[in-house]
Chain A
Amino acid sequence: MAEKLYIDALREGLREEMQRDESVFLLGEDIGIYGGAFGVTRGLIDEFGEERVIDTPISEQAIVGMAVGAALSGMRPIAEIMFFDFLTLAMDQLINQGAKIRYMFGGKAKVPMVVRAPMGSGTGAAAQHSQSFPGVFAHFPGLKVVIPSTPYDVKGLIKAAIRDDNPVVFAEHKLLYRVKGEVPDEDYVLPLGKADVKRKGRDITIVAGSIMVIRALEAAKELEKEGIDVEVIDPRTLKPLDMRTIIDSVKKTGRVLIVEDDPMSFGWGAEVAAGIAGSEAFDYLDAPVKRLAGLDIPIPYNPNLERHAVPQVENIVEAVRELLR
């Protein structure tokens, strides 16, 4: 198996699906010759031409709305929104249109589309270019939400998202683009709605998503030196959410820490916590469920403040120690 960057694995997934299925196409701002703000679509225009790698004007609502319309009419559009933050401009088309159409039409229509966007802080882009809020979309029936953390996952999950017959919000963390990992060359698809045990352990379960998986794994390595054996569960998709895998892990370890990149209040971690509390795993808990998440503030520009605004490896290590104390 070859080591690949997350960004290259993602592009490979897009390319393979475009080769496999003529109805798959890309649209978004600066995705052609520029290759996207982060380079995800670099080179695809040379292979598939301007007809399938479409540069749009700066019109987010139209981009997402057109994806809805094209999907409804038999195509499989993948819309790129340059920064996750700008999805707010397209909320109506995504939430009131894309998410609802199938049900409103009595299940007689399909909206097979993907909206991809890079989220997250850590690049100094400040409050309007640094947000993570995938949980917001998981709130709305009709949408699926994917938050892939590794190169292997991102390729398998983008393929699943493209093949899925529902609108899927695909949230990439921009700090993950440069992360390397093993990616097989052959075609593989990972199911939406299946969590992954990223590390097996006995003493405590960490449920982490997106960039926080990488930080949780680093924290686990630290904690191993102290004899603490951490299990790391990556839900991979927030909707559908695989509570079964999480509950089974908590039953085994008796302790759980949930780590999110998003601001704490009303975040998806609360959903996971409630799922645990309401399950048979509750009887196995040796300590209260603990959450670590972003502060309830807009992401600040200054690098020290910015770093402090979301959980870092040392915060995870400390939180685990507290839970085991």
Chain B
Amino acid sequence: MTKAGAVKCARSFFANQYQPLRRSAMFLQTISNGLLIGSLYALVGMGMAIIFGTMRIINFAHGEFMMIGMYVTYSICSAFHVDPYVTIPASFLVTFALGYAAFKGLIAKIMLSSDMNQILMTAGISMVLTNLAQMKYTSDQLTLNLDYANKSVKFANIQLNIPYLISFIIAIVITILIFYFIMRTETGRAMRAISQNRTSSFLMGIHVEKVSSFVFAIGIALAGVAGTLLLPVYRVSPTVGGGFTLLAFVVVVLGGMGSIEGAALGGFIIGVVQALSAYYLGGSYGDLITYVVFLLILLLKPSGLLGRSRS
């Protein structure tokens, strides 16, 4: 018998023998863990969905901007010994400024260029950011030592890790704020108009480039804030971004490209799917199943769960 098989067998043996209730409790526990991490995936994915929806650009540097947010938080926390959640405004501002500069200096000039050039431009930006971080911080994996990192609250048989829980609540609040911004403010209305029809909204007197640059910066800043929220529960290294860029693609395609509520939903679904498959099948199956789901969605329902049909 292989080692994995033996472990699985032993696990099911103990589950049956000693704790008849354990199986359903673990199921709920795994789902709640998935929802907690899924809220952060949703935040990253929403940033990418906002950018894609408004200007049809696939941002290959999204995870790298998240990595910048993580390093901003790390630097401030290690210099001033403050709580990581206090640094949210700082990482928001830094990534917002970076996103605005990247859009004005680089992205805006190739808006009308081919898909290939847009992908290449953002991939080039991601390389620049990754290696800048590596030059500044070396390739060590860094982590914050929080005194409440391993504490958890118990809620109806389910253990909720405190940093995860705080990040979850903040992510939910930010998600609600973003929805309010898109649905209720004038800029949000302009943004939705641009995503429906760029040319018409230009003709209706919307300053397309101004709104686009703002929206791009907001999308990047969402990734940066997600990085801050992730740092208490995750290690940061210069190459951490690549995996999250791919994850954001999955989330965005799952929800329907450009659909912001779809991306939020997609983030939670991917979080739960990853947690369940990692628990029941073993560590690396989480990623494997994620990509298989991604391909299936691309093939069977390319418009995603909540998306409009693609043009």
Is chain B a partner of chain A in the same complex? no
Residues of A within 8 A of B (CB): none
